[in-house]
Amino acid sequence: MATQKKEKLFTGSDYKIFRRLMSYAGPFKRQFYISSILAITLSLLTPLRPFLVGVTVDTYILGNNFNGLAIISIISLVVLFAESICRYFFLYLTNWLGQSVIKNLRVKVFNHIVGLRLAYFNNTPVGVSTTRTINDLETINSVFTEGAIQIIADLLTIIFVITFMFITNWQLTLLSLISFPLIIYATYIFKEGIKHTFQEVRTAVARLNSFLQERITGMKIVQMFNAEDKEYENFKLINKVHRKAQVRSVWYYSVFFPIVEIIIAFATALMVWRGAHSVLEGKASLGDINAFILYLTILFRPLRLLADKFNTLQMGVVSSDRIFKVLDTHEHIENKGTLTPNNLNGKIEFKNVWLAYRDTDWVLKNVSFTIEPGKTLAIVGATGAGKTSIINILSRFYEIQKGEILIDDLHVKAYELSALRKRTGMVLQDVFLFSGSIYENISLRDDSITKEKVISAAKMLGAHEFIMRLPGTYDYNVMERGATLSLGQRQLISFIRALVFNPDILILDEATSSVDSETEQVIQYAIENLIADRTSIIIAHRLSTIQRADQIMVLDKGEVKEIGTHGELLELNGYYKHLYDMQFVKELAQ
């Protein structure tokens, strides 16, 4: 019921969506106009061949005019050759136009998606975004290759064929068109039926993409908990829905085309039967009969395909609507700042900051603190206390509802967004590596970061030796998500990545939680050198890694409970002391 309602509401805006889609063909007006001219030319040349056949039979074959027969044959060949050339360029241009439009549109969609705030990705499955940028855009291509221009060409062909038929013999034309309403009715039934199945197919494809994306990404969890059989059954169910939708579409085709063939055969037989009588009565010629057989073939061919093309156009419009909804998603972080400093002093100040990801479910409550330039603030607290939320709003991945965040005594919104993030480096607990070499993952393909600079940073962090042991060293392909590296190795690469970009503000979010004690010692030494001349925020569960921080802030349920040095907080005998004692006892037990 919900799907039907959605389709009904959508139908009223088809034309508006189609016009918006056509606007993307604006840069290719020349090719579009040439394609339209070729469509008109083809619609004129197509019925010309049967007309010439009729003339050939009546005037030159039955008239024993062999010289004229040679001339008309040459003319027919020229017409056929011209039609073939026009059709070649027509098909090439329409396909070129479609690919050019979706190339530009795909780039625009991708550029739009990468600018959306993280909340959008938290609420949208990866498979859905993938379907929008790949499958739906490919469907749009068919609007140009099999849809709008092709439909216009077919409709013009039908009009010109019927015109030629009336010119040739109006009585046979009326007789031939008796079956026309049957074809139109069958086409309408087919169009309506196949439209619903196409909708079901597209929905099923999106579900398949989402399911596969999640399970392949989380394959380790699937295998770890022996969930292969269960996921196999789930996939079978989703695939079964997809198969049913596809089979329904095949059923419509398997019924529609034989019915159309029967109607065409009936129309042709009726025309031949009546045409034979007309020839005997002197009301028609043999040339007319031959021409009409070809006319009917040409006439019913586009009619038979029109329903399919209309549905192709409809599905293109549906896909366009989905893509435009993504483009019309204004979940962007406001970027009206104009400041683009080459460097920041690094003073950070939170003033009565409140944050909620949903309504008034506050994650941070009245948080206030100040970090002086070049100093280090460590943040500790239980899971869900709001530690990661603080660094997310500092880099403006999310917007706060109340309070102010100042950097160098200026509101964070005064800075241009990319300039702000460029001066802020971040090392996360969950390190993400892309398919590609270690060097590409560190430099993120930034041409200003040379391999020498990467090697120097790797040596500083103690990672150079393990990289040199890999086959290909810095050109070693880490595969998707860094699957061929250990957690500690991936973490070291993320450290190098942060270092080579030389940020003024450095954020370490559980950056040592995934490494062993030996690697942690190497990184800890590098961290001390790394944070020496820059403002740093360190989030860590291991309190031993943050004891030298200039300030330690304790969070609990989104509220600041304590701020001070390691020694000061121990003397308070409060939250921090409790956390420290718990961890100390745990380490002794181990």
Instruction: Identify which of 428, 349, 340, 376 has the alpha carbon closest to the alpha carbon of residue 534.
Output: 376
- pLDDT of res. 1: 36
The SS3 call for residue 367 is strand
- pLDDT of res. 4: 39
Gyration radius from the chain CA atoms: 35
Neighbouring-strand partners of residue 376 = 536
Report the alpha-carbon distance of residue 279 to residue 285 in Å, rounded: 5
Q: What six digits make up the tokens of 94?
A: 């329409």
**pLDDT averaged per 10 residues in sequence order, the chain, 590 residues:** 39 71 83 87 85 82 79 87 90 86 84 76 68 75 74 83 84 80 79 75 78 77 77 86 84 80 80 76 76 81 73 76 80 81 88 86 89 88 83 86 90 88 82 81 83 84 81 82 74 82 83 60 67 81 75 88 87 84 58
Report the alpha-carbon distance of residue 141 to residue 143 in Å, rounded: 5
Report the alpha-carbon distance of residue 239 to residue 231 in Å, rounded: 12
Are 334 and 217 in contact, with CB atoms under 8 Å apart? no
- pLDDT of res. 386: 84
Domains and CATH numbers, the chain: 28-327 (1.20.1560.10)
- pLDDT of res. 514: 54
Report the alpha-carbon distance of residue 389 to residue 501 in Å, rounded: 23
pTM of the model: 0.65
* Phi then psi dihedrals of residue 555, to 5 deg: -110, 145
Q: Give, for 100, the enclosing helix (H) or strand (E).
A: helix 66-114
- pLDDT of res. 462: 75
